[in-house]
A and B are shown apart, each in its own frame.
Chain A
Amino acid sequence: MRVELDGLSKAWDGVVGADNITLDIADGDLVAFLGPSGCGKTTTLLMVAGIYKPTAGTISFDGVVVNEVAPKDRHVGMVFQSYALYPHMTVFGNISYPLRIQKVNKEEIRERVQKVADMMGIGHLLDRKIAQLSGGQQQRVSLGRALVKEPEVLLFDEPLSNLDARLRLTMRGEIKRIQEDLGITSIYVTHDQVEAMTMADKIAVMSEGVLQAYDLPEDLYDHPKTLFVAGFVGNPPMNFFDVEIMSSNGGFHAKSEAIDLALPDDRAQKAAVAKGNVVMGVRPEDVYLVDDTAPPSEGSTLSASIEVVEPLGREDLVGVTIGDVQLRVLVDKTKGARVGDNVELAFDLSKVQLFDPESEKSLLWK
């Protein structure tokens, strides 16, 4: 089922939940709505489910506007963060509920529930009460209940947020596998960018009710179109600092009181149209501590002093200052970074991002 949102908005007494959301979801795709809490992603999802009525705009399934269609007639299945299971029913009662409402005959209900439960690995738990299940099992029941009626659109509202980290990892893979096997068009709301990046075919980044970007996961990372997207996607987040772009000796330099870096021509030329001040963004993994093994290219190094070292296990996240500018840098832990050290930093400037400080739009990607 192809899902299209066109100018979709929702407001309550002037408070905007979602503002003019327009996007297309191809048949069989899994699209993630990614954004901080309160950004309107769940609001948008509930409009697709039919729980909220849009204030403006349309929702279409396969080209048919469904704004006025009741939730029960939309053929959607939904999985909630809180699982939203019916605590007074057994697992079987929960999964079979959609079918019992449709008055499917008993034989078929038993068959279909068993099939779905087996697929979710909870086939042996059908007689249990909900309270007797672990969180992971409850979420499987919830997913089973959404799948048993063979929906044409699957909606996920932060389904893994209440699970522990290890379980989240397994469930992530399972949900993706099931979604791909069944080829159900899906919308997956999450604030966890790793979930979004790993599971989604496309990601819609939202903030304060506005769709910030709608792109392939790798494009969001490598070609962020707004300052918000650049700062939100990627962990640890991208470093930003204000610089002025100047051309000198046939090349371009990004300069501020503390910084002087030679920018690659292709990126700098696109940005130079704006002249003057820009916001420069550098990811923590694109900055290195200079040592003897790989001499850096000219104009790409700055000296800095280490303020904070946070060991992450495989790497150290190091907070440094260059003059009045603070940066976070991912450093191989064999380098043995120590607080108070003065170091040389080398920047991989081929990956630098440049933004207009006024409009907060990228100067590189349109």
Chain B
Amino acid sequence: MTVSQAAPQSQAFKPKLMGGKKTGRRFAYAFLILSIVPILIGYTWLVIATLSTRTEGLLPRDAEGGIGGFTLRNWDFISDGAIWSAMFNSFLIAVAMVIGVGIASTSGGYALSRFKFPGRKAFLTGTLVLHAFKAEMLLIAIFFVLRWLGGIPLIGGYIGFNTVGGVALVMIALELPLGIWLMKGFFDALPWDMERAALIDGASRFRVWWQIMLPQVRPGIAALALFTFIAGWNAYLVPFTFTIGTKVTNMPVFLNQLISDTAPVNWNQVAAVGLFQMIPLIIFFLFTQELLLNIYAGGSKGT
């Protein structure tokens, strides 16, 4: 199915730019390779830099200026507890966001796609407008909300100011407009007949959503999960603002602490931490990749 998707594109390429089908494909490959080169160079530098004392371009240099100077010193932070706690916090924020955004978006997106209720249109446009507000503009207002949440008995200690829960809550809220609209789009694309059939077969509304509709939008859920996980994993501004002056810190904040204004910065160590931060994302991507590719294959076959 991916083949049939690629075909119209290369056909669109062919007649205008080149003569034959083969040359068209060659041109496409050349274009892709050229545009990917800068990115590849960047990653190559990243890997080389983490393993050497210093670099000049892509070449690792030792103290005397000759080629060489291999070292593992830049990775010393691994044995330090701070990075693991930062990583754990990043993980908590990301997972909480995937769960929170996932539940709210799949249920909200379904309702907005299928039900008619007062305020539906206002809600849809409202979320879009809200999404246009950058998080920076809301920081102060959110601060008051978090302080108030922190005052709630029992759960206040987990979701207030200066907590991972509070950060996750804010990040979920900021991510929801995207999530709801994305899932609504996926539900919109599903035929009504399938859920009508399920209703007639005896299923309740909830069961229709859970057993019939959700399995059809799995690629959408995977995409949303990946976006949300990345957003949570790379979250900087919100955690930096609302966990200030405590030991609660996540990976991006930790990384930023390495770049101090006063002392000389060890860029090779920053590169190593950066690379380290990417590893879980790569693993996560490997798991969702197949589902993600399905998005373009149309998701459900046979209907």
Binding site for B on A (CB under 8 A): 46, 49-51, 70-72, 74, 76-78, 80-88, 97-98, 101-102, 129-131, 133, 138, 142, 145, 149
- Tally chain B residues at the interface, Cβ within 8 Å: 20
Question: Is the CB–CB distance between A46 and B196 below 8 Å?
Answer: yes
Which residue of A51, A83, A98 contacts B202 across the interface (Cβ within 8 Å)?
A: A98
Contact A72 B201 (CB under 8 A): yes
Task: Say whether A83 contacts B303, CB under 8 Å.
Answer: yes
Q: Are A88 and B202 neighbours in the complex by a CB distance under 8 Å?
A: no
Whose C-beta in chain A lies nearest to the C-beta of B204?
A72
Residues of A within 8 A of B302 (CB): 85, 87, 129-131, 133, 138
**Are B193 and A84 in contact (CB-based, < 8 A)?**
yes
With A85-B194, A86-B197, A87-B300 given, can you name 18 additional A-B contacts, CB distance below 8 Å? A71-B200, A72-B199, A72-B201, A74-B200, A80-B193, A83-B303, A86-B212, A87-B301, A87-B303, A88-B215, A98-B201, A98-B202, A101-B201, A102-B202, A131-B302, A133-B302, A138-B302, A149-B201
Query: What B residues does A85 contact at CB under 8 A?
Result: 194, 197, 302-303
Q: Smallest CB–CB gap between B70 and chain A, Å? A: 52
A-B contact pairs, 24 of them (CB 8 A): A46-B196, A51-B200, A71-B200, A72-B200, A72-B201, A72-B202, A78-B196, A83-B303, A84-B193, A84-B196, A84-B303, A85-B302, A87-B216, A87-B300, A87-B301, A88-B216, A97-B203, A98-B202, A101-B207, A129-B302, A130-B302, A138-B302, A145-B201, A149-B202
Q: Does B238 contact A (CB under 8 A)?
A: no
* B198 interface hit (Cβ, 8 Å): yes
- Complex interface: chain A residues within 8 A of B300 (CB): 87-88
Q: Does residue B119 face the partner (Cβ distance < 8 Å to A)?
A: no
Q: How far is the CB of A130 from chain B (nearest CB, A)?
A: 4
- A138's closest neighbor in chain B, by CB? B302
Residues of chain A with a CB closer than 8 A to B212's CB:
86
> B interface vs A, CB < 8 Å?
191, 193-194, 196-204, 207, 212, 215-216, 300-303
Question: Across the interface, do B197 and A80 meet the contact criterion of CB distance under 8 Å?
Answer: yes
Residues of B near A49 (CB, < 8 A) are 196, 200
Q: Can you name the residue of chain B whose Cβ is closest to the Cβ of A82? A: B193
**Chain B residues whose CB sits within 8 angstroms of the CB of A74 once the complex forms:** 200
In the complex, the chain B residue whose C-beta lies closest to that of A80 is B193
Instruction: Give the complex CA separation of A85 and B302 in angstroms.
Output: 8
Alpha-carbon distance A80/B303, docked complex (angstroms):
11
Bound complex: CA of A29 vs CA of B175, how far in Å?
55
Q: How far is the CA of A136 from the CA of B211 in the complex (A)?
A: 25
A129 to B197 CA separation, bound complex (whole angstroms): 18
B200: min CB distance to chain A, Å: 5
**In the bound complex, what is the Cα–Cα distance between A72 and B196 (angstroms)?**
10
Contact of A131 among B191, B193, B301 (CB under 8 A): B301
Q: Which residues of B lie under 8 Å from residue A97 when comparing CB positions? A: 198, 201, 203
